[in-house]
A and B are shown apart, each in its own frame.
Chain A
Amino acid sequence: MQFSNFIDGGRLAAGGLKDFAAGFVTPALRLGVTGLSRSGKTVFITALVHALLNGTRLAMFEAQARGIIQRVYLEPQPDDSLPRFAYEDNLAAMKGEDRHWPESTRRISQLRLTIDFEPQGLIARNIGRGRLHVDIVDYPGEWLLDLPLMNMDYAEWSASTLATSRKPPRDKLAKEWHAFLSSLSADADADESQAVKAAQLFTAYLARCRADGVSLSTLPPGRFLMPGDLEGSPMLTFAPLDIAADTEIRKGSLAALMQRRYDAYVSKIVKPFFFHHFARLDRQIVLVDTLTALNAGADAVNDLGAALTDVLSCFRQGKNSIMSGLLGRRINRILFAATKADLVHHTSHDRLEAILRSIVSQAMARAEYAGAAIDVAAIAAIRATREARVTQKGEELACIAGIPEAGEKIGGTGFNGETEAAIFPGDLPSDPKEALEGKMEGSLRFVKFRPPLAKDGHYGHIRLDRAVEFLIGDRIG
């Protein structure tokens, strides 16, 4: 036993050394695709990998335009403890007669994409070959909301969650849970059935906050809504109690039980998730479903901004120095992307970018101050619509056309999922402030479009090329 431990230890050390050496020869770039749930992470990753693998023309991707990319391929899964990103399944879902967008992500997965290229430098050209591994991780967006919990203890979290739930628009959605909460005493002896009931009602409240039409974003803890393989685990049976942030908690009380489970949740779930996947990122793209939030109103927009600011403050952003290679790398390029830009006409894209800029202004200022390069773009990783002009009552409207999913409705007209429809989505305001104040509530008309069919094996996109160039372009060539 002792001996095999010794061998395993040696293997580990050799493996670590190998990793270090491998990183020296072929550098790996860890791309963090960050986004709350339903922001389009899975589609973005699938589209990015598909475009690079199939050599889809990306006009602004310099390395491709210069023709120095020799080969792009998927490497066998490097990390044996993580499932591989189901790229082929997601792609298959978007093909054929009953094509649909990929299901929402339920667990974490990883993919390694390798790019072989012709190196440009004199030395590199003669002694080396150009090869870059791009590691991409996909995970349920809900889990991202847990990151701010690392900096809070139970009492603090409890107090702040309860305070938010008592403000409109959440107060109406939390009635049931609040009623049960008032029957609980934090100082009473611990009772498992009460803890379970509280957790259930709290989860139901979170689910209601996320529902269509409300579209709130700040909903930690994320595993309550997307438990992954932890369904029913005792680590998920806790809920906030009505206590102040600086309460002394008595041993053996209900509050103590809740506190123990909260601490376990943070140390056993949140921290490993963060340190394994987010602590070593090189580049980050923050996908934001701005349009849905705008349509849901001012509360949703403000909540989205707050959630993103909280989440992004957990990442290490800034310039890399010689020492940071040893002490842990920083994220030195961050792209804020307003996804689903194909739902509005391209003349509105500048405005969409301006609105996103003001939503994430705090997070952006922080990253910029730390020295990271920042860009904002309205993108659609897969473009499901095309643009059309429709003349109605003598007025020319800039419309988008696509095939809406069956069951979608606009103003009483239903769609059957077969016929194409031209839709006027509405104009975004030129002043982003108006949008933040909720003037857009319900004024945007958009439906869910079916995924488009690939044309000659390639999907259309909006500014995916710009995103690729910004995120990985400087490391090729």
Chain B
Amino acid sequence: MPRSAIERSTPRRFKWASVLFSALLLLIALWAGNAALALIEDLFSRSIYFGYAAAAAASLAGLAAAAIILREIWGLIRLRRIEHIQSKAAHAINFDDKAAADEATANLRSLYAARADCAYGLKQLVSHDHEIIDPRNRMRLAERLLLSPLDDEAHRIVARAARRVTLLTTVTPAAALDILFVAAQNIRMLREIASLYGGRPSALSTWRLARLVIAHLAVAGGLALSDTLLQHLLGKGLLGRLSARFGEGAVNGILTARIGLAAKAVCRPVPLEGDARETLGSLMRELVSFEESKNVAESKSQS
């Protein structure tokens, strides 16, 4: 992990800033609690029914807050777990390592154990258990049986989001508005992809995912020269001549598609193989074909 490497290279200092923030947070929480208690007492002194109602509301609020916090923690744990599977799977594939492959496949299995859309693949995978398969191939087998149906679905999610962004950018009247739209659509897409691959995208884990996606984009950016060319051609060239708004829409759509692919790479529990990595080109084909979009609409209405 690059983050831990950076941490190690800088001298460790005591983090006064975080102490400050924690203390302030605690104070605010205490103040809120105190205010709530005072309110409840106040209401009790006025009428016993008001008091009970307020107490009930307060405990409900407390319960909800606890549930939210638990869910956030749970989401982060899930994310960590997927990252763990990713690193084990990469190790198994690169070094043909049996222990890593066993751990990664066992984790994958329990990750998808309760999912109806993975039940068939899981059953197939279990039936291969007593065969002798090399660790690297076992990893690939698990990937093929469990993840390839999900990959198709992820592909559709990305294409759908990209189309929606294109359309919205083209029709929104104000430029400021479409920034909001695009951001909202991208976050929605990210969450859909994350939950598709078994994540629990709560607020904090979505934040973390978004940062990972941006990091991924930055790393992959150097390789995407041809895509940029495409953008110029579409945005400022051909489509731009037809309609300035539509040109912008197309560019935003392509950007969304690229973010979608990065999100897929980040959320997928088994890293994509070099040549299997989808290019923008393969997505473009799906974007522009009307038949596909009909299929997507159908599959959406079915689900």
Among residues 77 to 102 in chain A, which have CB atoms less than 8 Å away from a CB atom of chain B?
none
The interface residues of chain B lying within 8 Å CB-to-CB of A349 are: 132
The interface residues of chain B lying within 8 Å CB-to-CB of A386 are: 130
Q: Which of B51-59, B133-141, B204-212, B234-242 contacts A (4 or more CB under 8 A)?
A: B133-141
Tell whether B128 is near chain A: CB-to-CB under 8 Å: yes
Docked-complex contact A60 and B132, CB < 8 angstroms: no
A209 to chain B, nearest CB (A): 34
Tell whether B144 is near chain A: CB-to-CB under 8 Å: yes
Pairs A–B under 8 Å by Cβ, sample size 8 = A59-B137, A60-B137, A60-B140, A60-B141, A349-B132, A465-B133, A466-B134, A466-B137
The interface residues of chain A lying within 8 Å CB-to-CB of B131 are: 59, 460
Tell whether A463 is near chain B: CB-to-CB under 8 Å: yes
Inter-chain CA distance A65–B140, complex, in Å, is 12
Flag B127-167 by CB within 8 Å of A: 1 or 0 each.
01011111001001100100000000000000000000000
Tell whether A462 is near chain B: CB-to-CB under 8 Å: yes
The interface residues of chain A lying within 8 Å CB-to-CB of B132 are: 346, 349, 462-463
Nearest chain B residue, comparing its CB with the CB of A463: B132
Docked-complex contact B144 and A65, CB < 8 angstroms: yes
What is the total number of residues of chain A having a CB less than 8 Å from a CB of chain B? Answer: 12
Flag A443-477 by CB within 8 Å of B: 1 or 0 each.
00000000000000000101101100000000000
Nearest chain B residue, comparing its CB with the CB of A62: B144
Docked-complex contact B128 and A59, CB < 8 angstroms: yes
Inter-chain CA distance A465–B144, complex, in Å, is 15
The interface residues of chain B lying within 8 Å CB-to-CB of A465 are: 133
Nearest chain B residue, comparing its CB with the CB of A383: B132
Interface centre among B130, B131, B133, B140 (most CB of A within 10 A): B131
Inter-chain CA distance A311–B131, complex, in Å, is 33
The 8 A-B residue pairs with the shortest CB-CB distance, nearest first, are A346-B132, A462-B132, A60-B137, A59-B128, A59-B141, A59-B133, A65-B144, A59-B131
The interface residues of chain A lying within 8 Å CB-to-CB of B133 are: 59-60, 463, 465
What is the total number of residues of chain B having a CB less than 8 Å from a CB of chain A? Answer: 10
A384 to chain B, nearest CB (A): 13
B231 to chain A, nearest CB (A): 26
Among residues 86 to 140 in chain B, which have CB atoms less than 8 Å away from a CB atom of chain A?
128, 130-134, 137, 140
The interface residues of chain A lying within 8 Å CB-to-CB of B137 are: 59-60, 466
Inter-chain CA distance A409–B13, complex, in Å, is 71
The interface residues of chain B lying within 8 Å CB-to-CB of A346 are: 132
A84 to chain B, nearest CB (A): 31
Inter-chain CA distance A465–B141, complex, in Å, is 12
The interface residues of chain A lying within 8 Å CB-to-CB of B128 are: 57, 59
Inter-chain CA distance A65–B144, complex, in Å, is 9
Inter-chain CA distance A182–B131, complex, in Å, is 57
Docked-complex contact B134 and A463, CB < 8 angstroms: yes
A68 to chain B, nearest CB (A): 14
Inter-chain CA distance A332–B278, complex, in Å, is 28
Inter-chain CA distance A463–B137, complex, in Å, is 10
B264 to chain A, nearest CB (A): 21
Inter-chain CA distance A466–B137, complex, in Å, is 9
Interface centre among A59, A349, A386, A460 (most CB of B within 10 A): A59
Inter-chain CA distance A388–B292, complex, in Å, is 51
Inter-chain CA distance A466–B134, complex, in Å, is 9
Nearest chain A residue, comparing its CB with the CB of B130: A386
Inter-chain CA distance A57–B133, complex, in Å, is 13
The interface residues of chain A lying within 8 Å CB-to-CB of B141 are: 59-60
Nearest chain A residue, comparing its CB with the CB of B145: A65
Inter-chain CA distance A60–B130, complex, in Å, is 15
Flag A57-70 by CB within 8 Å of B: 1 or 0 each.
10110000100000
Interface centre among B132, B137, B140 (most CB of A within 10 A): B132
Interface centre among B130, B134, B141 (most CB of A within 10 A): B134
The interface residues of chain A lying within 8 Å CB-to-CB of B130 are: 386
A149 to chain B, nearest CB (A): 38
The interface residues of chain A lying within 8 Å CB-to-CB of B134 are: 463, 466
Among residues 327 to 362 in chain A, which have CB atoms less than 8 Å away from a CB atom of chain B?
346, 349
The interface residues of chain B lying within 8 Å CB-to-CB of A466 are: 134, 137
